[in-house]
Amino acid sequence: MNFKKMFLYSLGAILGAVVLYKAYGFTTKQMKRTKKEFSIQKVSSEKKYQLQEPLKASQDDIERANAILAQPFFFLGRGRQCYAFLSSDGHYVLKFFQQDRFRVAKDYVAFLPDSFLGKKLRKRKAKLKDNKREKALLSFELAKKYVASETGVTFLHLEATKNQHQSVVCLDKRGKLISIPLDTVQFALQKRAKLVKPTLIALMHENKMDEAKVRIEQIFDLLVTCAKQGICDSDGALVRNDNLGFLEDKAIYIDIGKLFKVKTPITKALFEHDLRRLRPLDNWLIKNYPALGAHFEFCQTKAIDQFHD
């Protein structure tokens, strides 16, 4: 092979590699984009959820929910468990469960050989996904049953219904209007809360120190109330991920996908350990608003003293 042929061969190989690399990058990017996009299929599931206890909504509750759901909703965000849409009046958040996260990916299934070991691994993977789904749905069920006021949950739909709800119109992230038949999907309707730090900053900017202190007290009231109900939250990024918020007269959990119920009363030591999740807020207050930081420490001590060893 002479030099010219070698050069052309090498050039062709390089160009081919570049084309393959670009094609792979484009395909990967498209797959990631498709994965993030909202669709009815992603929030639909044929699997039923068995309620731990009866959770039958009254006719008044259904009518109130339908009145709220009659307005359009706009894409707000996507967490690890739900797609969230904000109502046009700005007062409510409609959450749909990401059912596709609880399915075994097709590429994972295709990768496994059709053997005894492959079938066993697929079955194990499916069971893990089912357990995650059950745990997430149970968390929402606990929120509605025991701490609805502390989570802002006004309506919860976990079981399929017929002619109970209309379809809701949602505007997705890419500007596409999607009509979702609510009878066929699992969803939660939650009051929209204001985030903690922006609320405190606004109050301090207006020299409303006393109101800011009340807001801090409300955070501890939330954790104390839930703990005494036996409801705990395993969210370790409570402050960092803005999963706490304020309604007009109280603090609530915004993310309610990690709640669980304990069988024995929560002790003083356990509650004090749980309050470590608020440490980032404590540090932030001490740095920016020392007076509020001192009040935070006072409220924390007062909250801990409400429990016994």
Own/partner long-range contacts of 142-145 (Cβ < 8 Å, ≥24 apart): 142/231, 142/259, 142/260, 142/261, 143/253, 143/256, 143/259, 144/55, 144/188, 145/53, 145/55
- At 154, the amino acid letter reads T
Three-class SS string for 74-106?
Answer: EEEEECCCEEEEEECCCCEEEEEECHHHHCCCH
The helix (H) or strand (E) run that includes residue 261 is strand 259-261
Instruction: Please tell me the predicted confidence (pLDDT) of residue 245.
Output: 97
Instruction: Please tell me the predicted confidence (pLDDT) of residue 28.
Output: 44
DSSP string covering 111-131: HS-SSHHHHHHHHHHHHHHHH
Q: pLDDT tens-digit profile of 162-212?
A: 999 999 999 999 899 999 999 999 999 999 999 999 999 999 999 999 999
Cα–Cα distance, 14 to 33 (Å, whole number): 28
Q: pLDDT tens-digit profile of 7-44?
A: 566 666 676 655 555 544 544 444 344 455 788 888 88
Per-residue confidence band for 100, with pLDDT thresholds at 50, 70 and 90: confident
Instruction: Please tell me the predicted confidence (pLDDT) of residue 170.
Output: 97
Name the architecture of domain 194-304.
Orthogonal Bundle (1.10)
Enumerate the domain spans of the chain. Answer: 41-191, 194-304
Dihedrals phi, psi of 280, to nearest 5 degrees: -60, -35
Distance, C-alpha 220 to centroid of its chain: 21
Q: What's the predicted TM-score (pTM) here?
A: 0.81
Please say whether the beta carbons of 235 and 151 come within 8 A. Answer: no
Instruction: Please tell me the predicted confidence (pLDDT) of residue 127.
Output: 83
